[in-house]
Every structure is written in structure tokens, then in C-alpha cells.
Amino acid sequence: MKLENRVALVTGGASGIGRASSLALAAEGATVIVSDVNVTDGEETAHLLAEAGHQAIFIPCDVTRAVQVDSLVRRIVSTFGRLDCAVNNAGVGGDMTPTDLREEATWDMVLGINLKGVWLSMKYELAPMLEQAKGSIVNVSSAAGLVGFRYASAYSASKHGVVGLTRQQHWNMPARISV
């Protein structure tokens, strides 16, 4: 098992790609911390992992709130002594609306979760990884991060931002940290 004795965090782990990532990391031997704002489904993901014999816990977190992300990472490190891997997957699609009709609140919500959430996650995940001189971070984007999707201005902009954030961060990392 490639990730035995490793600790992995998955944001947006309550369903979809986040749940699948949690299952894959656990299957490779990682202790998995599932995090999401959806407590019911997040707890279900952690329960599924535990039922299958894997070590997993659920910790709720809103990735748009720095204090919550900081607390999440601090709790992981204080409980498990390390953070080796992170999958920054928390995201929303928003609605399909022409740009000129898009509501500002929807724009702010989508950019907040999809882009600011990845940035805040990286901001706090990198500290323990740099301290231990190793770690890996996967930021989840989508095809909309490479091409624009019609009527998805906020989603496309946020996912393009994730790609840009990930690419710039890669050049700043020591060789033992991969983003």
C-alpha cells in the first residue's frame, strides 16, 4: 500500500469526486480526513471508509472561512502528527446564466468556494508539509478550467483560477513538495 502511515485530507469529501478520492486514498492505506460543509454525507463517507476497515474521520469545514481551514489543518496535525496529502476538491457549479444576468451573490459564492477555498486550503496545508519537508497537494479543477463553458462565467472563471493558482504554486515549491 503506497500511502500506509500517511495522512490525507479531502475537502468536499461528502460526495462525488471527493468521496471517490477518499475511497481511493484509503484503499492505498492512508488515514483519511473527510471534510465538507455537508455533515450528513461527510459522516457517511467516513463511515463507509471505517466499515471497509480504513482509518477515517469527518471534520466539518467551510473552505471559504480562513479560521475554519486553519483550525481543520491544526486539528489534523495535532491528532495525527502530520499532513502528507491533500485533495482540494470542495466546489460548486452555480447556475447556468448569461454573464449579463448573473447575480453578484452567485458570482461571489462560486468564486469563494471554488477559488478562494482552494487558496485557503493550500495556505494552511503547506505549512505542515513545508515543516516536514514533504507532501502532495491535488487541486481539483475541471475542463472548464481550460475552456469557457457557455453560461457558466463564474464557474469557468473559478476553475481557470484554480489552474493558474496551481501552476504558479508549483514553481515556488521545494522539490519534496508537489502541487
Q: 18 and 90 in contact (C-beta within 8 Å)?
A: yes
Q: Where are the domains of the chain?
A: 7-178
Per-residue pLDDT, 144: 82
Mark out the alpha helices in 81-152 (DSSP H runs): 104-111, 117-131
* Residue among 90, 69, 73, 111 nearest 12 (CA): 90
Per-residue pLDDT, 17: 97
Mean pLDDT of 114-119: 98
* Catalytic residue (choose from 21, 22, 35, 141): 141
- Catalytic annotation on 142? no
Domain 7-178: give its CATH architecture. Answer: 3-Layer(aba) Sandwich (3.40)
- Please tell me the pTM assigned to this model: 0.93
- Catalytic annotation on 155? yes
Per-residue pLDDT, 7: 98
Q: Is the pLDDT of residue 167 over 70?
A: yes
* Catalytic residue (choose from 21, 153, 155, 156): 155
- Catalytic annotation on 2? no
Report residue 171's pLDDT band, with 50, 70 and 90 as the boundaries.
low
